[in-house]
């Protein structure tokens, strides 16, 4: 009897579930169609809405304010222009926003994100803008991916304008021909990975100095023709690995005097206009880096208590390794073909630094 009751109950439950309607698809608004303008569709949209924008030129500035779970989807690369009078798209006080497949041209800043969380910008092209390609501030979990910025007056991607951002990513973007920096990160626990940056007026990649920038990761990025420094590190506990810089106006790789406890690992820099790698901070680890054909020193260390390990310098325009700081440890490094000495420690033979298993054919320490 109990088995029959259980079987009947299961059958009733299955029949009940079979009769339930499926989950309703998200509401979709078409532009043009449901609205002639993108802004009009945004104003109509409720949570979960997908706005599909067809190919065309839209002379408007779009503001997404106080929205939740909204997708702005470009079909056929629709273009937003404002005639240089306003930003292209502004996202403020919102959560769960996706912007994908747009061209933004002739605007102030391509996409501005303020006070928002869980925002994704994907597969957009931002060109000929007055200020930044993308600018994010006071936000978290902002993701900029596979987006191209060409011809920004200031920064390509400024992910962390004052007062900074947290847990954001910039992945597989292309930035070129910008007036200032290529990719700028300010805040904590952010990631810049596999971006390609070229022809910048300022630095190629940078952790912002005006915002505390800690525990960020820069991995697998490529920089070519940076106007100032190829990769510049401020802040504490950041990781920089497998990045490559080719041609920079000043240092290829630089740890500033405010850089503490960072890791530089397996990075490369060639044809730097100053030192290939400058380490001016404290308690940083620089390992496995390759520096070649720098105009200045291959590696310049003016900071204290750093660990310099397994780095290789070739054909430096001045010293291979030039050391002015104290309490630094040098292990397993190599320099060859330097225009001056392969190693110069300005403290002389009885100095405050430690050298173990290095190869410096020409040096002033009698090693």
* Bond preceding residue 163 cis, omega within 30 of 0: yes
pLDDT value, residue 209: 85
- Compute the half-sphere exposure of residue 334: CA atoms within 13 Å on the CB side of its CA: 9
- What is the pLDDT at residue 349? 84
Alpha-carbon distance of 157 to 60, in angstroms, equals 22
Residue 204 to residue 269: CA distance in whole angstroms: 12
In the chain, what is the straight-line distance between the N-terminal and C-terminal CA atoms, in Å? 93
* pLDDT score of 22: 57
The pLDDT score that the predictor gives to residue 239 is 98
What SS3 class is residue 17? Answer: helix
Q: For the residues of 76-93, what is the DSSP string, one character each?
A: S--EEE-TTSS-SEEEES
302 touches 274 (CB < 8 A): no
Do residues 316 and 291 make contact, with C-beta atoms less than 8 angstroms apart? yes
DSSP symbols for 189-233: S-EEES-EEEEESS-SEEE-SSS---S-EEES-EEEEESS-SEEE
DSSP structure class, residue 21: P
- Helix (H/G/I), strand (E/B), else coil: 43: helix
Question: In 3D, which of 124, 188, 182, 178 has the Cα closest to residue 151?
Answer: 178
CB neighbours (10 Å) of residue 18?
7
pLDDT score, position 45: 98
At 325, give phi and psi (nearest 5°).
-80, 180
> In the chain, which residues have pLDDT < 50?
1-20
What's residue 46's pLDDT? 97
Q: What is the pTM of this model?
A: 0.92
How far apart are alpha carbons 263 and 168 in whole angstroms? 20
pLDDT of residue 212: 82
Backbone angles phi, psi at 287, to 5 degrees: -140, 145
Which 8-state DSSP code applies to residue 363? B
């Amino acid at each position: 009897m109990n088995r029959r009751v259980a079987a009947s109950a299961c059958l009733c439950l299955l029949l009940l579930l079979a009769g339930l309607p499926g989950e309703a698809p998200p509401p979709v608004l078409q532009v043009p169609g449901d609205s002639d303008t993108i802004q009009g569709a945004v104003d109509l949209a409720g949570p979960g809405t997908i706005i599909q924008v067809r190919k065309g030129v839209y002379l408007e500035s779009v503001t997404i304010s106080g929205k939740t779970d909204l997708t702005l989807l470009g079909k056929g690369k629709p273009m937003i222009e404002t005639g240089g009078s306003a930003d292209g798209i502004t996202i403020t006080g919102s959560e769960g926003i996706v912007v994908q497949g747009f061209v933004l041209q002739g605007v102030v800043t391509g996409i501005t994100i303020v006070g928002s969380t869980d925002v994704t910008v994907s597969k957009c092209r931002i060109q000929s803008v007055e200020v930044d390609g993308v600018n994010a501030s006071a936000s978290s979990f902002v993701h900029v991916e596979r987006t191209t910025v060409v011809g920004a007056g200031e920064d390509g991607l400024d992910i962390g304008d004052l007062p900074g951002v947290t847990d954001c990513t910039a992945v597989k973007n292309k930035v070129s021909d910008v007036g200032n920096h290529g990719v700028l990160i300010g805040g904590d626990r952010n990631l810049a990975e596999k971006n390609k940056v070229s022809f910048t007026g300022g630095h190629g990649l940078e952790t912002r100095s005006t915002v505390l920038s800690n525990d960020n990761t820069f991995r697998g990025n490529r920089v070519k023709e940076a106007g100032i420094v190829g990769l510049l590190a401020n802040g504490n506990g950041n990781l920089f690995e497998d990045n490559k810089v080719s041609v920079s106006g000043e240092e290829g790789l630089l740890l500033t005097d405010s850089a503490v406890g960072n890791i530089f690992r397996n990075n490369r820099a060639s044809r730097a206009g100053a030192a290939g790698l400058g380490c001016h901070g404290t308690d940083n680890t620089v390992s496995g880096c390759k520096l070649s054909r720098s105009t200045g020193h291959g590696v310049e260390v003016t900071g204290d208590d750093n660990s310099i390990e397994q780095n290789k310098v070739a054909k430096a325009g001045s010293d291979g390794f030039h050391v002015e700081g104290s309490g630094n440890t040098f292990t397993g490094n190599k320099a060859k073909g330097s225009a001056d000495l392969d190693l110069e420690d300005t403290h002389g033979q009885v100095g405050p630094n430690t050298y173990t298993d290095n190869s410096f054919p020409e040096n002033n320490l009698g090693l």
